[in-house]
Structure 1
């Protein structure tokens, strides 16, 4: 059992040592040449999926799950998972920005 703890400790130590190197590499590396159309296509897809379409689907999902929870046909835990998923979907940009600012990544 002590050997597992030692291996786990070494792995955590290596990760802590390498994290600043990984973050520095992300700052230095830029988008590859010719990736402009791909990035703009992905941004368009993100705008489409997080815009009106995602809002409508989330409202319908929360309404349906709420009715199922009130009628006792679905477990409360499953309803909470749907609502948590909506928070994560719409808060993804803020979550990533917070993680990047905590890591010290600019951009």
Structure 2
């Protein structure tokens, strides 16, 4: 009974087309700065630091100097950081 009351309001939401993101006017420097930050976080230096961090955390976990839970958290964080673009692409395809 109550669903029928809200159905006309919900139909336009279900039929809406997705909005594609566009850069607003004058946002060029901001977009360039964010692109630089992304390149820095995902570039060669960051990859080398992440490899060293995983090796150090793995060695400390194996030698008993680090809690396994904390070590797994560090490694999971690195996977999420470098896999963020793939994760977002998967969410976008799942949403449709």
Bin of the TM-score, shorter chain as denominator length: 0.7 to 0.9
Change (3 A) 1:29 1:63: closer
Determine the C-alpha separation between the residues in 1 that align with 2:94 and 2:54. 32
For structure 2, the 5+ residue unaligned runs are 1-9
Could you say what secondary structure the match of 1:34 adopts? Answer: coil
Distance in 1 separating the partners of 2:46 and 2:90: 22
The equivalent residue for 1:7 is none
Q: Which has the higher contact order (CA 8 A, sep 6+)?
A: 1
Distance 1:26 1:33, change over 3 A: farther
How large is the Cα RMSD of the aligned pairs? 2.2
Task: Please give the TM-score of this superposition, normalised by the length of structure 1.
Answer: 0.67
Name which of 27, 33, 36 aligns with 1:41: 33
Matches within 5 A, 1:18-29: 21=13, 27=19
Task: Using the TM superposition, give the Cα deviation of residue 31 of structure 1 relative to its aligned residue in structure 2, in angstroms.
Answer: 2.1
Q: Post-superposition shift, 1:103?
A: 2.0
Q: What is the DSSP-based 3-state SS (H/G/I as helix, E as strand, rest coil) of the residue aligned with 1:27? A: coil
1:60 equivalent in structure 2: 52
Matched residue, 2:4: none
Gaps of 5+ in 1: 1-16
- CA deviations 1:44-73 (Å, max 9, x no partner) are 210121011211211111111111111101
Going from structure 1 to structure 2, the CA distance change for 1:43 and 1:26 (only over 3 Å counts) comes to farther
- Counterpart of 1:73 in structure 2 is 65
Query: Structure 1, residues 66-90: CA drift from partner, whole Å, max 9, x if none?
Result: 1111110111111111111111111
